[in-house]
Structure 1
Amino acid sequence: MRRRSVLLAVPAGLLALAGCGDDDSDKGDKTSPEPKSPSAQPTAKMDGPVPALLGGTKFGERPEIARGVGKPSDKLEVKTLIAGRGPAAAKGDYIQVNYLGQIWDTGKVFDTTWDKGRKPFIFRVGAGEVVPGWDQGLAGKKTGSRVELAIPPKLGYGEQGRPPAIKGTDTMVFAVDVVGVFNSKSAAHGSKVAQDNKDLPKVGDNTDGKAPSVTVPKVAAPKKLVSSYVLEGDGPEVQETDTVLVQYKGVLWDGGKEFESTYANKDLAQFPLPRLVAGWRDGLKGKKVGSRVLLVMPPELGYGKEAKENIPANSTLVFAVDILAVA
């Protein structure tokens, strides 16, 4: 059984799926592909008829999609507009995408990550975290691909729709760019940074997807937070409001015993940074995506006097964290 992470500052059960769009009323009429239809059967028809792309035809550009012509299909229609050459998204993998969604009949855009201030969306393929049309239509697609989907209501939000933007009779059309695919073998691939402080733990710099070694020195633990690069990536800096997709390994300063690891679980972790313990929030903010980071956090930035699973009270914690992506 997969263990619940001890890193969250609030019980994991309080976390709900976050929408791609913003629920604030002053943000407009945005929605996202997240809530799933209760009755969905695999009905994919590959390379079927989809509306034409009028502009923004290159990968990474905001697309402009024509209105649908005629009556839309009652099956999922999927067309690969640009065939990528990177890793393919298998069931259980995390996939990072940019997307634009609009209504077949009207051509009205209801949501897009290409809006200013938005970031690519990350979800786990085949886990029911998105509408079935996304789970089915994006499975197997390679990094660097642009895919167009026409999703009938039964593989979208069903008869209830997603008012007011999407009625229960609306077919949704999406253009989706596959930015990245991540799984339990993913790792940071940044440039190596010297680890020359003998009073700090040494972290392995392997990039083969296996757990890095973490060797804790036999000296007194630091009193302040340590956050330093082991591998420095070249991606965007982590913002304090981001959700991070990571590989990590956590050990105790006293004795170096491992207490939690995504490598042991054979699964990645995705966390909203604001809901993590202070040592993670402060230690990862400003660090670059693609990096491996050493975090050493004193008890007051971890769990203080409170004991957790495999973590005694008043423990100094040591982490090796690979920042794979942010959303």
Structure 2
Amino acid sequence: MRTARFTTRVAALAVAAALGLAACSSPGSTDSTSQSGPASGSGAESGSASGPEVDRNPTGELPEISGAFGEVPVMTPVEADPPKVITVDTLEEGDGAVVGVDDVVTVNYAGFLWDGTPFDSSFGRGAPSTFSLNSVIQAWKYGLADTKVGDRVLLIAPPEWGYGDQANGDIPAGSTLVFVVDIIEVFGSDTSALESAKLTETPLPEGLIVEGELGEAPAVSFEEGVASPESEQTVVIAEGEGPVITADDTVVYHYLGTYWGTDVEAVSTWESGAQAIPAQGSLFLGEKVGSRVAYVFPSTGTDQPAMVMVVDILAGYKQ
């Protein structure tokens, strides 16, 4: 068994993930859970019972956007009232893969208030943003679904599907948000890399049981009466055959998180969809794509039991 070198950021990530709050560093990140996406097709359309309406063929007056795919967009506002539903207008059409509602995407984006005031942009930062659509505001999750790699889209997020009545940084409460998004790449939740991993002989901490086939959701249980470890520990349950994760990568992964020895229901991404996070400063550095790794974080006091995360590393993509 080897002891991990954990930073404060890593510990915070572990706590967030175990509580089901893991979110990537991306525009409009939120802790909301995944839902079923809207049906594909054009025109104003209702999603599933849990998904919002998305208008993909808007007819109302929309802000004017100048600039081609890859260029810094400039927005010219209009006097019209903003739309009341998530609105997506394809400014430039690509011919690449279609984005799914639970996919991980790489994009460049610029965000504006309805009056044209810019509040955020990835253009000029040196690298686009990679994130899971399960980790962003609902307007992004459902609006970017059904777009294609190579698209430049105008995406309008009413407050209900953005930040609602809460202010967020430079975004006032109740704001309609306007985004210009270039879809650069899409990564699904392909688990094939996990299936070729080789089980190691490294023992788990006493009392911890991890079961389940590689490539499928794990199950975690505990031997009754066994105390949790007093130190942070990392155990590679199965080592993948993929490349080693470096600081230049964005990692796509599944996790299952739970508290040691409790009957609290585990939190898992295996049903909602994979997550993504920059590898730099994270607990994934040095691990191989395809690996299943167990992380144990000791108790921080009577109000915080020890936590266990079982992570399956699906892929690593250079930023």
Question: How far apart are 1:112 and its partner, in Å?
Answer: 0.9
Q: With structure 2 as the length reference, what TM-score do the two structures score?
A: 0.55
Distance 1:276 1:36 in 2: 19
TM-score normalised by L of structure 1: 0.54
> How far apart, CA to CA, are the structure 2 residues paired with 1:269 and 1:77?
25
Instruction: Check the 8 A contact 2:51/2:142 in 1, yes or no.
Output: no
Matched residue, 2:30:
35
**Aligned-pair distance for 1:274?**
5.2
CA contact (8 A) 1:96 1:179 kept: yes
Give the letter aligned to residue 108 of structure 1: T
1:78 touches 1:150 (CA, 8 Å); kept in 2?
Answer: yes
Q: Structure 1 vs Structure 2: percent identity of aligned residues?
A: 27
Q: CA deviation at 1:111?
A: 0.6
Distance (whole Å) between structure 2 residues aligned to residue 211 and residue 156 of structure 1:
38
* 1:294 Cα offset (Å): 9.2
Question: 2: distance between equivalents of 1:52 and 1:100?
Answer: 14
The question of whether the paired residues in 2 share the 8 Å contact of 1:152 and 1:172 is answered with: yes
Secondary structure, aligned partner of 2:52: coil
CA distance in 2, matches of 1:122, 1:175: 16
- Matched residue, 1:116: 125
Aligned to 1:68, what secondary structure does the other structure show?
Answer: coil
Retained in 2: the 8 A contact 1:37–1:158? no
What displacement does 1:13 show? 2.8
Change (3 A) 1:176 1:238: farther
Contact persistence 2:113–2:178 (CA under 8 A)? yes
Which residue is 1:87 aligned to? 97
Distance 1:268 1:78, change over 3 A: closer
- 1:146 — aligned with what? 152
1:45 aligns with 2:44: no
How far is the alpha carbon of 1:169 from its aligned partner? 3.5
Tell me which of the two structures has the higher relative contact order, counting C-alpha pairs closer than 8 angstroms and 6 or more residues apart: 2
| Unaligned ranges ≥5, structure 1 | 1-6, 21-31, 187-207, 217-228, 249-263, 285-291, 312-318
* Cα deviation code 1:52-107 (max 9, x no counterpart): 1222x12x2222222234222222221012222222122322222221100111x1
Count of aligned pairs:
234
Q: 1:171 to 1:85 in 2, by over 3 A?
A: same
Is the Cα–Cα contact under 8 Å of residues 98 and 114 in structure 1 kept in the other structure? Answer: yes
Separation of aligned partners in 1, 2:101 and 2:185: 14
Gaps of 5+ in 2: 1-5, 34-49, 201-239, 256-269, 297-306
8 Å Cα contact 1:50/1:77 also seen in 2: no
User: Is structure 2 residue 189 aligned with structure 1 residue 184?
Assistant: yes
Q: What residue is the counterpart of 1:99 in the other structure?
A: 109
Residue deviations 1:231-271, cap 9 Å, x none? 789xxx9437x6522599xxxxxxxxxxxxxxx99964535
